């Protein structure tokens, strides 16, 4: 039996963790990780320890979905306490870094008044000295930029915080992961490997290339008492064979949310990879089994947790030839370099493509177009819409672009001309600024500001305007977070009365009236284009 060849089952959930918290992109750069550690993780744990029942009640309240509440039903307080204590014991330097960032902000707020910043370098907290440059914008507003590649080389980037938690997943019901740390349990195998470890690739290759148990045991360093659990994650049954598209034009398939695979006979492109595992379900879908052996381009639209998902990226990394990302603004806390983040988690060939720049191949290209809004008016540059051309067809993947300024699309139309199909998110309510960026703020923001500056995508008026300006024959509303398997990263549950549904329904009706093919994607979809 030890020589039988075994695959990793297709329903083994692998959660990437950072000190037991679900790892997302801001937990890789030292500065944003430090701020999230002190302002999100420790605060949530402290609050739970003080009032577990408040959390238990809040988790049950649909209005508070995605809020900072631990989902353990008021139980396991001792374990949360020991996690908090362990975090404080093992990460004092990250806590110092977080405090240093707050002090630096304070120094700039109180002392940088438009005169030379040179004297302030003496006041920069010692641990940040040499890692930051102090700057003004043209209106004398002071700020600092982090010299990110150097800070990653310091003790503040510590891969020992990273690990992977393996367990069996049998259905769509996964609790929201961003507010609750993952505690140990008997059904979970905790693999203590940093994300960039080559063995992570070997683990996920096991989904398609089997190996004998003796080798797998060694690879995962499974202690003897956990061998039965790890063995239960494996199967002798191979996955179904995947047939890549070999037709003339192209085929695209919707995998849920903003994840779309576009294939021609020569090129495969996967947008915003967020994949479902494979298990029995009423909602039909494409899953990990529906990917080609090799993906030419993974393309990322922006650095939000529902578009940059490590859980998927790590599992497909070994198949991916290139990753296209938007460049960031260069060291501002709220806009860490996505290229560096992905390189740090072990991705190869990460290519930054700036606005109006393209990557080309025979018979096709991907061009990055400007993406306005949806980032609470923060100066965040790491975002792009993408125009894909194959032959004489043009498809626009606009993700959560908010049409704040229609004239932009006039200018773009002038450059790119008619577009055959547009994919656009219409999450037009959006979470308030602090939901995502709160831990980075070192001074409390007024409630009115927080409420007004949301992570909102286009509404009906803004969406129809884009469709009209590009003379598009098809519009697909996507990235709505509605698929039942996305609950763990989306803090949304829409009803027919929710504004994003009302607005997108309106768009679909209006487009249909004018002979434009319009649909809100859900679950799965496949289209062939000649």
Letters for 457-496 (x = contact with Fe ion by CB under 5 A, - = none) are ----------------------x-----------------
Q: In the bound complex, what is the minimum distance in angstroms from residue 479's beta carbon to Fe ion?
A: 5
Instruction: Record the tokens describing residue 494, joined without a space.
Output: 């829409």
Q: In the bound complex, what is the minimum distance in angstroms from residue 374's beta carbon to Fe ion?
A: 5
Give the DSSP letter of residue 19.
T
Chosen residue from 290, 400, 450, 483 binding Fe ion by CB under 5 A: 400
Token pair 């060849």 is found at 5
Asked if 306 interacts with Fe ion (CB under 5 A), we say yes
Residue whose CB is less far from Fe ion, 166 or 479 = 479
Residue whose CB is less far from Fe ion, 15 or 306 = 306
Q: In the bound complex, what is the minimum distance in angstroms from residue 300's beta carbon to Fe ion?
A: 11
Q: In the bound complex, what is the minimum distance in angstroms from residue 375's beta carbon to Fe ion?
A: 8
Letters for 234-263 (x = contact with Fe ion by CB under 5 A, - = none) are ------------------------------
Q: Provide the greatest CA pair distance for the chain.
A: 75
Supply the angle between the helices 77-90 and 42-50 in degrees, to the nearest 10. 150
Residue whose CB is less far from Fe ion, 19 or 306 = 306
Chosen residue from 84, 304, 343, 381 binding Fe ion by CB under 5 A: 304
CB 336 within 8 A of CB 29: yes
Instruction: Record the tokens describing residue 92, joined without a space.
Output: 């004092």
Count CA atoms closer than 13 A to 438's CA, side-chain side: 19
Instruction: Record the tokens describing residue 42, joined without a space.
Output: 């420790």
What is the 3-state secondary structure of 342-395? HHHCCCCCEEECCCCCEEEECCEEEEEECCCCCCCCCCCCCECEEEEEECCEEE
Residue whose CB is less far from Fe ion, 320 or 426 = 426
Q: In the bound complex, what is the minimum distance in angstroms from residue 463's beta carbon to Fe ion?
A: 15
Among 19, 34, 92, 169, which Cα is nearest to 487's? 169
CB 341 within 8 A of CB 316: no
Contacts with 427 (C-beta within 8 Å, 6 or more apart), sequence order = 400, 455, 456, 457, 479, 480, 481, 492, 500
Q: In the bound complex, what is the minimum distance in angstroms from residue 256's beta carbon to Fe ion?
A: 12
Site for Fe ion in 167-206 (CB under 5 A): none
Residue whose CB is less far from Fe ion, 306 or 483 = 306
- Residues in binding contact with Fe ion, number by CB under 5 A: 4
Residue whose CB is less far from Fe ion, 45 or 398 = 398
Contacts with 447 (C-beta within 8 Å, 6 or more apart), sequence order = none
Please give the Cα distance from 368 to 327 (Å, whole number). 11
Q: In the bound complex, what is the minimum distance in angstroms from residue 425's beta carbon to Fe ion?
A: 6
Residue whose CB is less far from Fe ion, 55 or 454 = 454
Q: What is the CA radius of gyration of the chain?
A: 23
Q: Of 97-105, 125-133, 298-306, 437-445, which segment contacts Fe ion by CB under 5 A? A: 298-306
Residue whose CB is less far from Fe ion, 30 or 500 = 500
Q: In the bound complex, what is the minimum distance in angstroms from residue 358's beta carbon to Fe ion?
A: 23
Q: In the bound complex, what is the minimum distance in angstroms from residue 16's beta carbon to Fe ion?
A: 19
Residue whose CB is less far from Fe ion, 39 or 306 = 306
By CB under 5 A, name the binding residues for Fe ion.
304, 306, 400, 479
């Amino acid at each position: 039996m030890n020589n039988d060849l075994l695959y990793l089952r297709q329903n083994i959930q692998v959660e990437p963790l950072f000190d037991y918290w679900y790892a997302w992109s801001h937990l890789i750069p030292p500065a944003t990780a430090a701020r999230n550690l002190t302002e999100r993780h420790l605060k949530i744990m402290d609050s739970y320890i003080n009032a577990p029942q408040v959390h238990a009640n809040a988790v049950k309240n649909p209005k508070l979905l995605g809020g900072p509440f631990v989902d353990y039903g008021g139980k396991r307080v001792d374990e949360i306490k020991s996690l908090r204590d362990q975090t404080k014991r093992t990460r004092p330097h990250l806590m110092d870094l977080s405090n240093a960032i707050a002090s630096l902000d304070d120094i700039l707020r109180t002392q940088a008044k438009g005169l030379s910043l040179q004297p302030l370098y003496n006041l920069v907290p010692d641990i940040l000295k040499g890692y930051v440059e102090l700057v003004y914008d043209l209106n004398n507003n002071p700020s600092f930029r982090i010299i990110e590649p150097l800070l990653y080389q310091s003790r503040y980037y510590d891969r020992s915080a990273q690990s992977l938690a393996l367990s069996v997943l049998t259905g769509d019901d996964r609790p929201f992961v961003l507010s609750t740390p993952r505690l140990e349990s008997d059904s979970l195998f905790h693999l203590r490997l940093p994300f960039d470890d080559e063995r992570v690739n070997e683990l996920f290759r096991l989904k398609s290339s089997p190996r004998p148990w003796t080798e797998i045991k060694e690879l995962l360093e499974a202690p003897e008492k956990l061998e039965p659990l790890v063995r239960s994650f494996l199967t002798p049954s191979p996955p179904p064979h995947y047939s890549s598209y070999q037709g003339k034009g192209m085929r695209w398939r919707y995998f849920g949310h903003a994840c779309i695979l576009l294939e021609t006979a020569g090129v495969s492109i996967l947008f915003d990879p967020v994949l479902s595992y494979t298990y029995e379900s009423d909602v039909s879908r494409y899953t990990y089994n529906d990917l080609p052996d090799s993906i030419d381009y993974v393309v990322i639209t922006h650095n939000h947790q529902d578009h940059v998902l490590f859980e998927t990226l790590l599992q497909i990394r070994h198949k991916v030839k290139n990753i296209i990302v938007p460049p960031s603004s260069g060291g501002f806390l709220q806009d860490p370099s996505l290229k560096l983040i992905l390189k740090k988690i072990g991705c190869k060939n990460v290519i930054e493509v700036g606005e109006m720049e393209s990557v080309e191949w025979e018979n096709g290209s991907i061009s990055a177009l400007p993406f306005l809004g949806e980032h609470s008016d923060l100066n965040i540059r790491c975002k792009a819409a993408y125009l894909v051309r194959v032959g004489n067809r043009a498809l626009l993947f606009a993700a959560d672009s908010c049409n704040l300024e229609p004239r932009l699309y006039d200018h773009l139309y002038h450059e790119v001309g008619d577009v055959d199909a547009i994919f656009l998110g219409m999450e037009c309510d959006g979470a308030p600024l602090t939901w995502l960026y709160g831990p980075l703020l070192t001074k409390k923001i007024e409630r009115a500001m927080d409420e007004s500056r949301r992570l909102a995508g286009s509404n009906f008026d803004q969406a129809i305007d884009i469709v009209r300006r590009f003379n598009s024959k098809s519009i697909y509303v996507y990235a709505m977070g509605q698929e039942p398997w996305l609950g763990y990263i989306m803090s949304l549950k829409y009803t027919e009365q929710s504004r994003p549904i009302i607005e997108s329904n309106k768009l679909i009706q209006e487009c249909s009236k004018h002979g434009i093919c319009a649909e809100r994607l859900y679950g799965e979809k496949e289209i062939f284009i000649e």
